[in-house]
Chains A and B, each alone.
Chain A
Amino acid sequence: MTFRQARYDEPLIWEIREPAGTDPVELEGVPAGLRRKAPLAWPELSELELARHFTRLSQMNFGIETAFYPLGSCTMKYNPRVAELLARRDALLGAHPAQPEETVQGLLELLYELEGALGKITGLPHVSLQIAAGAHGEFIALLMTRAYFEERGETERTEVLLPDTAHGTNPASASMAGFTPRELATDRGLIRARALREELGPRTAAFMLTNPNTAGLFEEEILEIADEVHQAGAILYYDGANLNGILGKTHPGKMGFDVAHLNLHKTFGTPHGGGGPGDGALCAGERLAPYLPVPRIKREGDRFRWDYDFPRSIGKVKTAFGNVGLLVRAYVFLLAHGESGLTAVTERAVLNANYLARRLGELLPRPFSPLVKHEFLLSGAPLKERGVRTLDLAKRLLDEGVHAPTVYFPALVEEALMVEPPETESKRELDLFFEAFRRSVQDTPENLHAAPQNLSVGRVDEVKAARELLLSWKDLRRRSSPAPEG
C-alpha cells in the first residue's frame, strides 16, 4: 500500500496571528489589587483560520477511521456514528447536573437502564457510573476495599497482589489508595492457583486480575484462584480492560470476582478521544456494594431520583455523576447489539485475533499458548540479530498506513508486540495488515532504522524532548530569542 500522510508546516496559533492584547474592562466591585495587569498573550483567530488550523492538524493524525489500529489492550473498535449523533441531542448537552431530578427523568432512566445492563453483563449487580476511566475505577474500588477492611478491623491488610502481566495502572492505583502492591511471577503467562496460595495471607487486601490477561490468555484456573483469594479473606478485583474477549461467554460474577471496573471506551465502542475522555463503570457484588460512591440512581415506580442514603458509602469520587455524554454512547452500543450482538462481538474479536495470530506467527515467534482470546503477543527478539528492534518495526508499520501494535508491554516478553484486532475489522483488513507486517519485517535494517518516512515528520527525537523540556509556546519563544533575565 502506498501511503503518504499530509505534511503541513502548520504554525502554532501564536504564529498564525499576533496576540492582540487585552483592553481594560469594567469589573464591578473587584479591587484593583486583584485585577489583571499583564495583557493575555493569546491570539484570536477568525473562524476560517481556526477551522483550517484544526483540519490540517487532524490530517496529521491517525484515527480509527483513517487506519487499522491494532493496539493491544486498547480495543480500538469502530465508534458508531449513530452514537455520536445521539450524544449531541440538546436534551443531553444542555442538562446541568444540578437540575432538579424531575426535569431530567429521561436521562436518569437511561442511566438506570445502562446500570442494569452492565450489572447483568458483569454478574455484579450494584453499579456506579461515577467513574471517569479504568484507572479511576481501580482507585475507587481499592478505596472501597480499604473501607471494607477498616470496618471489619482488618487493618493489617495492606498489600495488593497482582500478576507481572498487569496493566501499569493496577500497581499505580494500589499505591495511590495507600496499599503496597506486589507483583507475582506468572507461569507461561498464567497465574497458578497453587502458587498464588503461597503468596496470599492475612496481609492481603486484594488480588487484581485481568481476564483474559494482557498476554491474551484466559486464566484457566480462575475458579480455583477465586477460591484461594476468598479463603484468604481478600477481595478479588476484575480489571475490565479485556472484557471484549468474553462477552456472553462468562462474566466476572460467575468467575468469582467481587468487584469489576469496565472501560466503556474499549468494550462498548465509545471513542478514545485521543487519550480521553473515556468512561468507566464500577460493578460490585454484595461484599463491596455498600461502599460504592454516592449518589446512586433509585427507581420509585416510574420515577427516578438520586439516592444519597448509603451511610457506608465512601462518598463522592468525581465531579457530578460521571461522563454522561459517553455513557449515552455506550447505551446506544448496547441497545444496537443486544445480547446476541454482544456475543457476536466477542466471537468475532476472538476469531480475528486467532486468525491474525496464526498468520503473524509465521513471521515472528509467539510466546505461550497458541489459543488466545481477543489479543495476542509477538516477540520481536529475532530481529535483534539484524540490529533491528521492535521500535523500528513499529515505526516501519506506520509507513504502511496502519497503526503499530502496543510495544514493549508486557515486560515479561522480550521486545513485545501486543496485537488486538477488534471485531469491527474485516478479513480483508487483517490480510492487508499481514502483508504490511511482512513487508516491514523483511525490509532492510537501514529502512527500518530510517522509518517512518511517509508521515508528517520523521522519527522524533524523544531524548532531546526530555532534555530540553520545551513544554509551551513561551518555552519555544524564550529559546528562539533569549531575553535577559528579569
Chain B
Amino acid sequence: MVRWIPDPERENPQLLAALGLTGTDELFRDIPAAARVGPLGLPGPLEEPEVISAVDRLLEKNQPRKGLDSFLGSGLYDRPSPAVVDGILQRSEFYTSYTQYQAEASQGMLQALFEFQSLWVELTGMEVANSSLYDGDTALGEALLMARRLREGRYFLVPQSLRWERKSILSNYARGPGARLKEIPQDSRTGRLDLGFLEREARNDCFGVLVEYPDSWGLLQEDLPRLRGILGDVPWVVSADPLALTVLDPPGKWGADLVVGEGQGFGIPPSYGGPLLGLMAARRRDLRHLPGRLVGATTDPTGRRAFTLTLQTREQHIRRSKATSNICTNQALMTLAFLGYASAMGPRTLARMAGAMTARAHELARRLGTLPGLVAPRFSAPFLYEVPVEVSALAVKDFLRGLLSRGILGGVPLYDPRPGSPPPFFPGYMAAVGPATSGRSLDRYAAAAQEVLQDREGG
C-alpha cells in the first residue's frame, strides 16, 4: 500500500516528462553499478486493514495487564493520565512539526516549551532549564559532561546505590573526557551516604558529585541540606523525581548546580520504556555550558510578546565540534505531556497523591517486612513510594517469578543481568506503589509473597 505517495502512476510520468526523462533509472545513474542492490527480502506491502491486524496479532501475544497488579517502577511509572493530555499530543500542528528554527511559524510550540522550562525551574528551585533531553539517564550523562566543563578533574562521585543501568550509561558518557566514576559508600543499615568519604574525595581530583533524590534504593538523604558546605565548590548534580519535588524541598534551595530527572511519570505512558523525557535545570551563571535547546521570550517589531530559540551558539548546528552537546532531536512533544499533566492535575492534587502513595508504600513495607525471608524496608532511611525489599530466603528472580505466577508484578530486581557482573549490595528489588495501588492489591501482594515463601520452605 503506497497511498501515501500521491498518484505515482499518473504523476511520476508527468514529473519525468518535465525533466525530459523517460524513466526513473536515469535519476540514479550516479550510483555505481557495483554498489547497486538486488531484492532485499522485506515483508509487505500490506493494505491498511492488514497492517492493523498484523500489528494487533503481535500485540495480542503480550500478556494482558488487566488482572496483573503492578509494582514496577525504578524511575518509570504507570500512572493514569487525564485523557485531555493525550488530546494535546494528538494535535498534529504539534506532533508533525519540526524544531522551531523559524520562530514566527512556531509560536505555539515555543510558548509551550517556555511554559515547560518555567515549570521545571519552579519544581527544582533552580534558575534556568533547557527544553528537554532524551531521558533521565542520558540527562545524567549530559550533566556529567557539563560538570566536567565547569571543573577539571578525573572523578565523578556517584552513590553506591546507583542502579546498574545508570552506572553503565554514565560510564559511557564519561569515556569522551576520560573520566572515571567513584562510588560513595552508603551505610549498610541506614543507607546514609558516607559524608567523611564525600568530604575527602570531593577534594581529590573530583569534578562532580551526584546525589539521587530519592536514590535507586528509594531513599532520601537527610544530609542533603548541608551537602553544599561539605562539597565546597565542586559541581553538585541532583537527579530528582518530579513527583517527589511536589512534596520535598527543592535542590536549588541547598545550592545544587544541576538538577536532572526523568519526566515520564508526568503524563507519559511507560510504552515499554520510550519515548521518555530528560529534564535538566541549572544555575544562570552556568547557562553557556548548558546542553540542549533553550526558549526565550522577546518581542516582534510591534512590541508583541514572542518566543524564540536562544543561545543557539552553544549548539551543534552552529558551534559544531565545540558545541556543549551533540544533541539535535530532543523530546519536545513529551514536554507537552509533562506540562499538560502538571496543569491538569495541579500541585495540590499531585502533592496529596504523593502523600497517599507514600503512606501506602509504608504499609506495603510493614506487610512484607513481617514475612520471614524478607526485609522491608531494607534500610532505615526515609523513603517515599518505592520500597527496597531484601529477599534472603530464595533467589530474587525466583521470588519475583513466584509472584508473577500469582498475578503480581512484584518489583524491579537490583542485579546487573550481564554475565559475570558483581552481585548487588543486597539481594533484592524495588517495589513501587502507584496512585492506583489499593489496599486490596496490598492484601494480594502480601498473600502471594507469603505463599511463595512457604512453597520454598515446603519444597
Contacts and interface: CB of A to CB of B under 8 A. Distances in A.
A44 B343 contact: yes
B119 to A, nearest CB: 6
Interface string B125-169: 100110110111110000001000000000000000000010011
A275 B96 CA distance: 9
B91 interface: yes
B235 interface: no
Interface stretch (B34-42, B185-193, B199-207): B34-42
A452 B91 contact: no
Interface in B325-347: 325-334, 336, 339-340, 342-347
B44 A28 contact: no
Contacts of B123: 40
B99 A96 contact: no
Contacts of B4: 77-78, 80, 269, 336, 423-424
B58 A62 contact: no
A259 interface: no
B105 A62 contact: yes
Nearest to A470: B297
Contacts, number: 684
Given A105-B62, A472-B114, A325 B275 contact: yes
Interface stretch (A52-60, A194-202, A228-236, A437-445): A52-60
A146 interface: yes
A103 B417 contact: no
Given A34-B224, A335-B55, A347-B12, A275 B329 contact: yes
A435 interface: no
A109 B7 CA distance: 34
Contact of B5 (A117, A279, A344): A344
B323 to A, nearest CB: 4
Interface string A238-262: 0000000010111100110000000
Interface stretch (A19-27, A281-289, A382-390): A19-27
A412 interface: no
Given A98-B72, A466-B311, A92 B271 contact: yes
* Contact size range, A: 35 or more
A20 to B, nearest CB: 6
B346 A51 contact: no
A106 B62 CA distance: 5
Contacts of B418: 294, 308-309, 315
Nearest to A175: B321
A324 interface: yes
Contacts of B331: 273, 276-277
B216 interface: no
Contacts of A117: 42-43
B424 interface: no
A4 B397 CA distance: 61
Interface in A86-127: 86, 88-100, 102-107, 109-110, 113, 117, 120-121, 123
A13 to B, nearest CB: 6
Given A43-B343, A62-B105, A96-B270, A316 B165 contact: yes
Contacts of A71: 98
Given A177-B175, A472-B118, A223 B316 contact: no
Given A35-B247, A57-B109, A95-B270, A465 B310 contact: yes
B94 to A, nearest CB: 5
Contacts of A109: 58, 61
A319 B306 CA distance: 35
A365 interface: no
A336 B44 contact: yes
A290 interface: no
Contact of A135 (B96, B115, B306, B329): B329
Interface residues of B, number: 197
Given A134-B329, A358-B18, A321 B272 contact: yes
B340 to A, nearest CB: 6
B304 A458 contact: yes
A34 B222 contact: yes
A133 to B, nearest CB: 4
Nearest to A102: B63
Contact of B59 (A106, A275, A354): A106
A475 B126 CA distance: 12
Nearest to A241: B328
Contacts of A85: 52
Contacts of A455: 104-105, 107
Task: Give the residue among A71, A120, A140, A465 with the most B Cβ atoms within 10 A.
Answer: A465
A18 interface: no
A38 B254 CA distance: 13
Contacts of B455: none
Contact of B274 (A74, A320, A462): A320
Task: Give the residue among B84, B90, B273 with the most A Cβ atoms within 10 A.
Answer: B273
Nearest to A369: B30
Nearest to A251: B37
Given A47-B344, A325-B274, A35 B35 contact: no
A395 B24 CA distance: 34
B44 A339 contact: yes
A67 B98 CA distance: 12
A458 B300 contact: yes
Contacts of B131: 275
B43 A335 contact: yes
Given A320-B273, A337-B1, 16 more contacts: A25-B352, A60-B111, A65-B92, A78-B4, A84-B90, A100-B404, A102-B63, A271-B95, A273-B94, A277-B331, A335-B55, A403-B105, A459-B104, A461-B298, A469-B311, A472-B114
23 contacts: A34-B222, A63-B92, A63-B93, A76-B98, A168-B317, A175-B326, A249-B37, A250-B36, A275-B330, A277-B275, A309-B418, A320-B276, A322-B274, A334-B43, A336-B4, A337-B2, A337-B44, A351-B16, A351-B24, A404-B102, A427-B11, A427-B14, A458-B302
